Structure 1
Amino acid sequence: MSASTSKERKLLDAAATGDVATIQSLLKDGVKADTRNDHRQTALLVATHNNQIEAAKVLIDAGADVNAKDMIQDSPYLYAGARGHLEILKMTLSHGADLKSTNRFGGTALIPASERGHVETVRTLIEAGVDVDHVNRLGWTALIEAVILSDGGPAHVEIVKLLKAAGADLSIPDNEGVTALQHAKKRGFAEIVAVLEK
């Protein structure tokens, strides 16, 4: 359902600004929790974009679909994982997040979380059971992204440790046949090299 009525538009605006009272009142009035805007973003995805935790909670409790994708294949679950919006991510995980769902790059939530250095998000997704060895369309695993798209700093060292401890296959190469360890050596990431060689 797209935002054809002013009430639906109001719900989407309230989700963006975290106006919980308006959300509750509109839901009570019969506006659907999964109302979508012109980009096919649901009210919950709009709330997730803005990390509006209370708004997201109200919408999820009202039955909003945590896996509903927009035009660019983002869902509340995938977006919360990619952006490190931990509280909303945990809510989506406890309300049926599809751990196998993938973004427009063919990657799970764990891959962008690893790339962006969201340590607690990575830990949460690993504990939830997301496949640590999933390969996206670019030919990259979470481990490879944590190396080649990072600065090799403390957050990424910690993420490499978490992925390794979770049993990530260190031998999976990218599309050019280069492993995470080889990338780390090439980039001079001594701490990551040490973790991977241990």
Structure 2
Amino acid sequence: MRRRALLTLPLLVAAAGCARTAPATTASREDTMTDPADQRLLTAAGGGDGDGVRAALAAGADLETRDANGRTPLLLAAANDHVEVAKTLVAAGADPDALDDRHDTPWLVTGVTGSVAMLEALLPAKPDLTIVNRYGGISVIPASERGHVDYVRRVVKTGIDVNHVNNLGWTALLECVVLGDGSAPYQEIARILTAAGARVDIGDRDGVDALEHARRRGFGELVAILSR
């Protein structure tokens, strides 16, 4: 889906309310890592190799070992949507809140990928829904900006704060309107968020709320939804 940028918001792409997570790879740490079992665990988790993960754990690998970017095996599995691997790691006690050097966690990246299956895999680990990414956003915000309808529909049922305001002064609803393209997925997200209690009257740093942004962008369907 192609999104249109606002000309009045030059920092739009660079400062979106989500962590623009690059495809996760298992960067080599041979220069710093002394335990080969740890390296095998990272490689297996990032590659979706469930047998390799179990073998590495059986060999004594550290469940919370980190790669060169501070990513744990669970974060690598989550970023690459290896759901079965994530379930194995969660069952072993992996931390869903472990922050990497980009201030991502396994839970936070689910809002970027939009994976409902991964969300479900991580929920038994009781992730902290209030931890924020480097833009001050929680997972529902990048999911709303990216048009992940099914994810938003599921995550609002967890009790996540749909009115959380990130460092840019935007809520999930504001990002849905400001960074979306007004198409059907964004219309549905607006319906889901407002039904879950998202406030239409929260303004951005300039005091402009989601309804006014929708009017300015000519998103008639969103205007109708938010006017209700």
TM-score band w.r.t. shorter chain:
over 0.9
Q: Is the 8 A contact 2:86 2:122 kept in 1?
A: no
2-side partners of 1:175 and 1:139: how far apart? 5
What is aligned with 1:108? 138
What is aligned with 1:13? 43
User: Equivalent residues in 2 for 1:1-198 (5 A)?
Assistant: 3-198=33-228
1:169 Cα shift? 1.1
1:90 Cα shift? 1.4
TM-score norm. by structure 1 comes to 0.96
2-side partners of 1:97 and 1:35: how far apart? 19
1:101 Cα shift? 1.0
Unaligned runs of at least 5 residues, structure 1:
none
Supply the AA of the counterpart residue of 2:215: K
Unaligned runs of at least 5 residues, structure 2:
1-31
Q: Deviations over 1:49-101 (max 9, x none)?
A: 11111111111111110110101110000001221021111121221110111
TM-score norm. by structure 2 comes to 0.84
1:3 Cα shift? 4.2
The structure with more helix, counted as a fraction of residues? 1
Root mean square deviation of aligned Cα: 1.1
Q: Deviations over 1:90-142 (max 9, x none)?
A: 12122111011111000111100110111111111110000111000000000
Higher relative contact order (CA 8 A, sep 6+): 2
1-side partners of 2:81 and 2:42: how far apart? 14
Q: Is the 8 A contact 1:147 1:156 kept in 2?
A: yes
What is aligned with 2:24? none
What is aligned with 2:17? none
2-side partners of 1:43 and 1:117: how far apart? 27
1-side partners of 2:82 and 2:191: how far apart? 31
